[in-house]
Structure 1
Amino acid sequence: MNKKIMSSVLTVLMILGSTSISAFATTDNGSVIIGDKTFDLAYANDPTNSAEINNAIVEGGSVYVKDFSGNWIDNTTGKIVDASVVPGENSTGTISDNTDITSKFTDTNFRSAVYKLIGKTSPAPILNIDVKNIKILDVTLENISSLDGIEYFTALTELDCISNHLTTIDVSKNTALTHLDCTFNQLTTLDVSKNTALTYLSCHASQLTTLDVSKNTALTWLDCFNNQLTTLDVSKDTALTYLDCGLNQITTLYAINNISNGSQYNVQYTDSTRTGTSDNLGITIKK
């Protein structure tokens, strides 16, 4: 390994105290910035990548290492520096295009799907630039349990993650989303309050007990069939043309003025004991 990078590792080791070089080299945490390029430390310390790392050093630029406590260390002085002086990163956490985000994809099946999408294979790093401009992502039937890393798909407009093993999804950073289909998962919570551009939302067949769509006023299609909802408020969603909230335990539906017009809205009000498409099934419809 190049001595310049190794000295960075040793600086971090002095701060961490008990970490050995061999253990450090196998750890996914941490990163090193060389000029305008960013590498995962495990990747940078892998001898098979030494040519790439050496080339980055030859091209010039300062070298900074981020330790496990989130401190940035100037490789030349060995001192902790403010994030604002590090190329591509500032105090608000903005990252550069060449930041290695491979370790952020904690689910191996999701990571494999991303590799396939961007045309790379492991152990090549997944960089921020590889995913940040992707608009459509379909990971249906990929046996995924976590979508950690989805936050880097900041331009995403369509996400299909149907028939996986998800219990939660964080799409708070995917503010450009207009289409979200997370049907057939085991979701217990779903927060779409930041996704105000959504026009299509399907969370059919999950385990949701609440669903807040009050901020999603652009919605035209909402399918929350077969969950555990007891109430639903779509009074703010005046653009709706399709609503299916069947097979829940809904006793109160806060609806727009003509939501009970089943022929227009394809509304189904059902639970395990009541079926139908009208508002006379023991459900209070408040307009």
Structure 2
Amino acid sequence: MKAKNMTIAALALLLAACGNEEILENNESGSTGKVHMTFTAGMPQTRTSLGEDGHVVNWTQGDLVAIYDGTETICKFEATEVSGSTATLEGEAAETDTYTAFYPYTDDGTLTLDNTAITFTLPATQTATAGGFAEGLNPSWAQATDGSKKLTFHNLCALAKFTVEAEGVTEVTLTANQESDALAGGLTYTIADGTLTATGSASRSVTLTGTFTKGEEYYFVVAPGTLTGGITLNYMGEGGKTYVKTTQKEVTFTAGKITKLGALDIANFTEALNAAFANAVKEFNSNIGWKANPDGTVSLDEYNKFQIIRTGATFLYLQNKNITSLAGIEYFTDLETLDCMDNQLTTLDVTKLTNLTTLICSGNQLTALDVTKLTNLTDLECNDNQLVSLDVSTLEELEYLWCDGNKMTALDITNNAYLVDLKCGNQQDNQQLTLTLWDTKKEFWDRMLDRHSDENSNVTTNVIEAPVNADHDGYEDDGETVDW
């Protein structure tokens, strides 16, 4: 009886052992040997947001870190318990002697990571964040050896700080004057010698976009290095105007260090044409003799303003050039034709271009357009914008008017006797437009409905009886008296 019981017990132990062996084998083949793991990340340098002193960089709950464990797949770890510059990182990885970590984690194919080198991308366009930098910036790395789970992170990039003292800032760009220098883009860090080098996708400019608050500090995250040719800083302020300053002096950005760029204010900057605008003009008119800044902007100093007048043409075609502002167009005083359709303009000041006969600005985001001083206009095409009104009462020579696809509710053409082509309907959100015209123009309007039925939909006419001299029909008193 005793022997029988011992046999049964031995059999049970054998079956249990076989079961455990199967579980272990399945674990190795099914989950590549990765197990739940916890790392501790701490000083001296960490990553997410600047502390109140403007220097210490703290972790943020939910930060994602990439960890290399010797397998083909980069492991994703998340910051869970966070206390200032220390954090607990949790995820799954394989047991090994050496771990290399990198912040931020990404699975978009731009990050490669092993125990010898890290290749990543620092964005050339960054989001403005008051008092610091945006989430996912400020790359840092760490390495744990001998099976340790303690990670001491080190910043791979530098910070460039400035204060906003100007009004209406929407964009700030920092550029290395020398084309071979890199501030962002593809970068590779070699762990053995601690060098960071640019790849073929590097950029010598970094741009901050978003909402800027006057009096606040903002930071570029940039690749470290010595820029022997100096730097250029420009910002876009009120009315879409660009302001620039540049230095040819050598500037050094050091990883883990903050370089002060000073304050953005009109007093220390020069008004300029923005780079997209200037490049488009130069592409269209290669004879223009201005001197451009290293970042492509063109300072509106006396020399360059004279060159615009001297070599500027009477017509300018700037279609689909990704231009956000035409501030400075007022110096192109000889223009008779301006075509800037299909850009990203939100404002357009053409009040000083009194020689214009043709203005084409359709396909932008204009909310207002003052053309009352352009009395020589014969062709105005401002369709597909965001205009809520349009005053053409002073454009007595106007022949072509396209203002369909906006947000207008009314249009008065009683002073436009020479109109031969009109598109004014199909306003956004099915908005009904009321068109005011003389009864002598009713036949003309009926023709426009037949010719441009889609562009003239949702239009109600307000037909009023024409005076004797309306549309230049009948006699007018010219005010002259015979001198006998």
User: How high is the TM-score relative to the length of structure 2?
Assistant: 0.36
The answer on whether the counterparts of 1:143 and 1:165 sit within 8 Å (CA) in structure 2 is yes
Residue 143 to residue 42, structure 1, CA distance change in 2 (3 Å): closer
Which residue matches 1:147? 326
> In the alignment, residue 464 of structure 2 is paired with which amino acid?
K
1:216 alignment counterpart: 395
Contact kept, 8 Å, 1:118 with 1:130, in 2: the verdict is: no
Shift of 1:214: 0.5
Q: Deviations over 1:220-279 (max 9, x none)?
A: 11011111111100101111111111212344211133322248852479799x948xxx
Structure 2 counterpart SS, 1:254? strand
Greater share of strand residues, 1 or 2?
2
Residue matched to 1:266: 448
Distance 1:267 1:194 in 2: 29
Partner of 2:272: 104
The within-5 A match list for 1:51-70 is 69=267
Aligned to 1:286: 464
Confirm or deny: 8 A CA contact 1:232 1:250 kept in the other structure.
no
Which amino acid is 1:255 matched to? L
Q: Distance in 1 between matches of 2:444 and 2:334?
A: 36
Q: Secondary structure at the match of 1:151?
A: helix
Match of 1:114 among 266, 281, 289: 281
The aligned amino acid for 2:281 is V
Q: In the aligned structure 2, how far is the partner of 1:213 from the partner of 1:137?
A: 23
**Rounded Cα–Cα distance in structure 2 between residues aligned with 1:68 and 1:103:** 8
Name the CA shift for 1:238/1:69 in 2 (closer, same or farther; >3 Å): same
For 1:252, the equivalent position in structure 2 comes to 434
Query: Counterparts of 2:404 and 2:382 in 1: how far apart (Å)?
Result: 7
- Cα RMSD for the two superposed structures: 3.6
Q: Is 2:325 aligned against 1:158?
A: no
**Stretches of structure 2 lacking an aligned partner (at least 5 in a row):** 1-230, 236-242, 250-264, 466-484
More helix by share: 1
Q: How does 1:140-219 map to 2 (within 5 A)?
A: 140-219=319-398
Aligned counterpart, 1:99: none
- Measure the CA separation in 1 of the matches of 2:416 and 2:357: 14
Q: Deviations over 1:140-172 (max 9, x none)?
A: 010011001101001110000010011111001
2:279 alignment partner, SS class: helix
1:123 alignment partner in structure 2: 293
Q: Is the 8 A contact 1:217 1:237 kept in 2?
A: yes
1:26: how far off?
5.4
Q: Is the 8 A contact 1:178 1:199 kept in 2?
A: yes
* Partner SS for 1:266: helix
CA deviation digits over 1:124-151, x for unaligned, max 9?
8661122224210110010011001101
For residue 229 of structure 1, the aligned residue among 408, 415, 423 is 408
Does the Cα contact within 8 Å between 1:253 and 1:283 map onto a contact in 2? yes
TM-score by length of 1: 0.59
Contact residue 245 and residue 270 of structure 1 kept, 8 A: no
Structure 1 counterpart of 2:362, one-letter code: T
Residue 109 of structure 1 aligns with an amino acid whose one-letter code is: A
- Name the CA shift for 1:203/1:184 in 2 (closer, same or farther; >3 Å): same
1:180-201 residue CA offsets vs partner (Å, 9 max, x unmatched)? 0011111111110111110000
SS of the residue 1:255 aligns to: strand
Tell me which amino acid in the other structure corresponds to 2:443.
N
**d(CA) in 1 for partners of 2:396, 2:463:** 19
**Per the alignment, in what secondary structure is the counterpart of residue 259 of structure 1?**
helix
Tell me how far 1:46 sits from its aligned partner: 4.3
Q: Is the 1:28–1:103 contact (alpha carbons within 8 Å) kept by the matching residues of 2?
A: no
Contact 1:162 1:182 (C-alpha < 8 Å) held by counterparts: yes
Measured in 2, the distance between the counterparts of 1:203 and 1:165 equals 13
